[in-house]
Structure formats: structure tokens, C-alpha cells
Amino acid sequence: MATALLGPIGVVLTIIGIVVCPITSGDTALRSSRITIADELNLDQKKLLSRLKIAIPLFAAAFALTFVDFTLVWRYVGWAQLIISSAVLLSATAYLIKKEKQYIITLVPAIICILITFGYILQAPEGLRLPSMIANVISVIATAAVTIIFLKHIYQRNSSTTY
């Protein structure tokens, strides 16, 4: 199809997109994971042996994941990304509040991400498997509680900070 639509250049781009890019993305992910682990554990990474001590178990864990249903792994990855997005948006909100800027632009998406995060894990097959109605009510209550606690904490912190 690439040959018919785009000619020989299309074939090359297709091979790069299907084969090369995922390999380099995986390589980059494993390398950054190794470096992050080494940084957290204060391990020197100059020697090959010290890099292998982290890289081999990391590679083994990644290889083991190839035997798990990928759709399940992907759902957990999506859920984890929502948690990270929520944390980043809340951090941005805290920063904007501190700088006395319009923080609503980051708070609203944070609230939505938190709501979706709670809702998903409460009703997902790999989560708590609660009925949708119950999960949604709990999600709204939990999201409201997290939002109130967050804002209360940020405003208390900012009122006690001298500039």
C-alpha cells in the first residue's frame, strides 16, 4: 500500500515508522529508566558492569511484560499517565496560585483528570469492579475532597509564606 500510494520513499518511511521508531523508543525508555534508578540509588554508571546490574533486571522485567495481555498493560499505563497528568496540573495550579495568576486554566483539567482516574480504577475489571453508579458517586466525592484539601493546603501555605 505504501508503494502504491507514496512510491519507494513511502516504503522507506513506513519501515522507519514501523520498525526503527518503536525500537529506538523502547531503547530510550529502558535507558532513561536505568538512569533514573541509578540516580535514585546514587549508583555510579561509568562502568559497564554497574550499568548492567540495573539494565539486566530492567530488561528482564520488560521481557516478562511481553507475556502479559498487552491491553491490560496499556490500561494500567493509561491510568498511570492520568495520575501523572493530575499531579503536574496540580503543581502548575499551585504555582499559578503562588504567582497570583489565573489558576483555573490548570485546576479544571486537573479536577477532570482526578475524576476520571478515580472513576476508572473504581469500576475497571482490573480495579475494584464497582457498579458504575456507585463508582461515579464515590469518584465525585473523592475528587471534591482532593480538590478542597489541595486548595486549602495551597492557600494556607501561601498565606504563611513571606515574599
This prediction's pTM = 0.67
For residues 30 and 33, give the distance between their C-alpha atoms in angstroms, rounded to a whole number: 5
Sorted by where each begins, the domain ranges of the chain are: 1-67, 69-163
163 pLDDT more than 50: no
CA angle 68, 70, 75 (to 5 degrees): 115
Better-predicted residue by pLDDT, 54 or 72: 54
Q: What is the pLDDT of residues 9-50, one digit of tens each?
A: 878 887 777 777 777 777 888 899 999 999 999 999 999 999
pLDDT of residue 126 exceeding 80, the answer is yes
The secondary structure of 45-95 as a DSSP string is -SSHHHHHHHHHHHHHHHHHHTTS-HHHHHHHHHHHHHHHHHHHHHHHHHH
Q: What are the distances in angstroms from CA 106 to CA 17, 92, 163?
A: 34, 7, 23
- Is residue 131 within 8 A of residue 123, CB to CB? The reply is yes
Residue 152 one-letter amino acid:
K
Q: What is the dihedral of CA 62, 65, 66, 67, to 10 degrees?
A: 140
Query: pLDDT band for position 161 (50/70/90)?
Result: low
Q: What's the CA angle centered on 58, arms 53 and 61, to 5 degrees?
A: 135
